[in-house]
């Protein structure tokens, strides 16, 4: 096996003390910025970029990549503990992770998330190593109709996120789609729903919506019911803070699901890790034997999306390294870094710089192990945060939410928007509207609209382009199936009832 020899050379590069140190610095920084809401890996890498000019490119890329995948590990921490998504990709982790924390199982949730991250992160690297070139070809075959179909498939997940009332879920999703439409229309340059504010020309930032609706909405709601007097239970003893064997058993399929879905969606330049985590959560719920328990704090509801957003980093490296095509903000800045270091990113980079590629791959194996070792002992430590009394914890959540949002844009306008979305989140809780469909609509709306309009421009208005291509037709068919599933279930229930009454 040729690549095995290369991989050994890669380990020889990655395991030098100098590179090990940079790898550790990278994953450590990544964990930290992952934990802090707002500031993401793209911003951190951009800020550190000038410091890497003096380093050799292999060490530099090992460190910067470490920040990238390390941030995915850390992102789940605040989602689980405080319902504050640390990164956009970890918003799905809030659904079950925060519920687990409320039941005193924060440690288990954090542990499951670290293990899922490790398994899927490693899977992503294996994928990157073994199937990168053929997979890059697959990614190129994806055109706008396929992206539209993929987004439809994602949007169909609303059925699974609905909770009690489907109507309310659909309404929330519509609001999400509407918010996604704010800003400048890419195709006509028209401003939509900017209300004369230049700040809204670029649309609303994901962080503002997610932190507002989830974190602030939750805190406002809790303050009102004066739950604050009662502290969240945090069990004593290290053993009780880690996931049980049963938890891990429940997550068996989720580990695999998250790994595969995350990696494949990561390879597509136009999708992204938030979508990957939504879809893998949806799949997990669809095939689960206890779908009704999702959203109340099941470990597999944490493992699937956390796995997906970690496997996504390995996937996102595929088009970057094999084609020189960045698929996300973070990989775009890595691409800029390659140019600044004098490497020529593109289809021939692996061939030209085998040491760099294989050194990076090997360092990602090492880095994932480091992250697991780094994160697991932190679990009990972080879980202690919940021991804080409400009068300390709630202002603390407000504080980090505001700082998080301000750190992204540096604009006070966004802080006001955060307040607005906090009130929206609160109102939705009061009126029992689920917030997950809103986020789903918001995340998918923009790409979905774009893909549809691109498709129709390509076909000059002919709608059949959406179903004429086998891959998009398959995905659209699956989406319809998912949408109809509740009807089948209802019909089935009626049938069972009829039989019962008949006998």
What is the binding site for another protein (CB under 8 A)? 42-47, 49-50, 53, 139-144, 184, 186-189, 191, 194, 196-202, 269-270, 319, 323-327, 329-333, 336, 339-340, 342, 344-349, 408-411, 413, 450, 454, 457-458, 460
Considering only CA atoms, which of 442, 468, 466, 440 is closest in space to residue 454? 466
Considering only CA atoms, which of 351, 37, 391 is closest in space to residue 215? 37
- Residue closer to another protein by CB (options 304, 447) is 447
- Residue closer to another protein by CB (options 189, 501) is 189
* Nearest-approach distance from CB 329 to another protein, in angstroms: 6
One-character DSSP codes across 415-473: HHHHHHHHHHHHHHHHTT--SHHHHHHHHHHHHHHHHHHHHHHHTTT-TTHHHHSHHHH
- Residue closer to another protein by CB (options 413, 488) is 413
- Residue closer to another protein by CB (options 293, 453) is 453
* Nearest-approach distance from CB 427 to another protein, in angstroms: 26
* Nearest-approach distance from CB 76 to another protein, in angstroms: 22
219-231 as b/e: b if 16+ CB within 10 A? bbbbeeeeebeee
- Residue closer to another protein by CB (options 190, 245) is 190
* Nearest-approach distance from CB 319 to another protein, in angstroms: 7
406 Cβ contact list (under 8 Å, min separation 6): 38, 412, 414, 415
- Residue closer to another protein by CB (options 344, 387) is 344
* Nearest-approach distance from CB 400 to another protein, in angstroms: 19
One-character DSSP codes across 161-194: H--S-HHHHHHHHHHHHHHHT-EE-TTT--EES-
Considering only CA atoms, which of 129, 87, 74 is closest in space to residue 365? 129
CB 371 within 8 A of CB 121: yes
Q: From residue 106, how far is each of 2, 176, 197, 344, 379 by CA, in Å? A: 44, 29, 41, 45, 8
* Nearest-approach distance from CB 379 to another protein, in angstroms: 30
Q: What angle do CA 454, 459, 463 make, to 5 degrees?
A: 90
* Nearest-approach distance from CB 101 to another protein, in angstroms: 31
Q: Which two tokens stand for residue 447?
A: 């790409």
- Residue closer to another protein by CB (options 126, 336) is 336
């Amino acid at each position: 096996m040729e690549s095995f020899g290369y991989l050994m050379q890669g380990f020889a590069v990655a395991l030098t003390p100098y590179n090990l140190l940079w790898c550790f610095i990278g994953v450590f920084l990544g964990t930290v910025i992952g934990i802090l809401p707002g500031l993401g890996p793209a911003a951190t890498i951009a800020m550190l970029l000038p410091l890497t000019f003096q380093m050799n490119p292999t060490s530099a890329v090992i460190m910067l990549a470490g920040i990238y995948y390390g941030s995915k590990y850390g992102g789940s921490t605040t989602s689980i503990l405080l319902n504050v998504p640390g990164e956009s990709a970890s918003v799905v982790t809030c659904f079950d992770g925060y519920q687990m924390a409320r039941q005193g199982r924060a440690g288990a949730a954090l542990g499951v998330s670290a293990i899922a991250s490790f398994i899927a992160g490693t899977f992503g690297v294996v994928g990157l190593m073994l199937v990168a070139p053929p997979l890059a070809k697959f990614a190129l075959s994806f055109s706008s109709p396929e992206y539209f179909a993929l987004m439809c498939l994602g949007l169909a997940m609303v059925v699974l996120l609905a909770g009690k009332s489907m109507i309310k879920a659909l309404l929330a999703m519509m609001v999400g789609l509407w918010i996604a439409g704010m800003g400048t229309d890419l195709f006509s340059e028209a401003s939509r729903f900017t209300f004369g504010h230049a700040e809204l020309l670029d649309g609303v930032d994901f962080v503002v919506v997610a932190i507002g609706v989830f974190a602030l909405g939750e805190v406002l709601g809790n303050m009102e019911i004066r739950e604050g007097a009662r502290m969240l239970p945090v069990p004593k003893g290290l053993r009780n803070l880690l996931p049980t064997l049963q938890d891990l058993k429940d997550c068996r399929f989720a580990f695999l699901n998250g790994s595969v879905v995350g990696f494949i969606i990561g390879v597509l330049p136009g999708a992204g890790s938030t979508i990957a985590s939504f879809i893998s959560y949806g799949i997990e719920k669809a095939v689960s034997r206890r779908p009704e328990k999702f959203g109340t704090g099941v470990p597999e509801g944490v493992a699937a999306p956390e796995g997906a957003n970690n496997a996504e980093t390995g996937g996102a490296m595929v088009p970057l390294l094999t084609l020189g095509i960045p698929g996300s903000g973070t990989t775009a800045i890595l691409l800029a870094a390659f140019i600044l270091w004098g490497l020529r990113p593109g289809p021939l980079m692996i061939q030209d710089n085998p040491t760099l590629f294989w050194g990076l791959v090997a360092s990602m194996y090492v880095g994932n192990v480091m992250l697991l070792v780094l994160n697991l002992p932190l679990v009990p430590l972080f879980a202690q945060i919940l021991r804080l009394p409400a009068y300390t914890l709630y202002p603390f959540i407000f504080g980090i939410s505001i700082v998080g949002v301000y750190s992204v844009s540096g604009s006070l306008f966004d802080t006001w928007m955060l307040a607005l979305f906090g009130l929206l989140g609160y109102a939705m809780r009061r009126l029992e509207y689920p917030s997950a469909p809103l986020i789903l609509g918001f995340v998918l709306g923009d790409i979905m609209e774009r893909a549809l309009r691109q498709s129709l421009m390509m076909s000059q208005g002919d709608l059949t382009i959406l179903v004429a291509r086998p891959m998009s037709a398959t995905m659209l068919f699956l989406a319809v199936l998912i949408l109809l599933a509740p009807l089948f279930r209802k019909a089935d229930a009626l049938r069972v009832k009829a039989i019962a009454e008949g006998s």
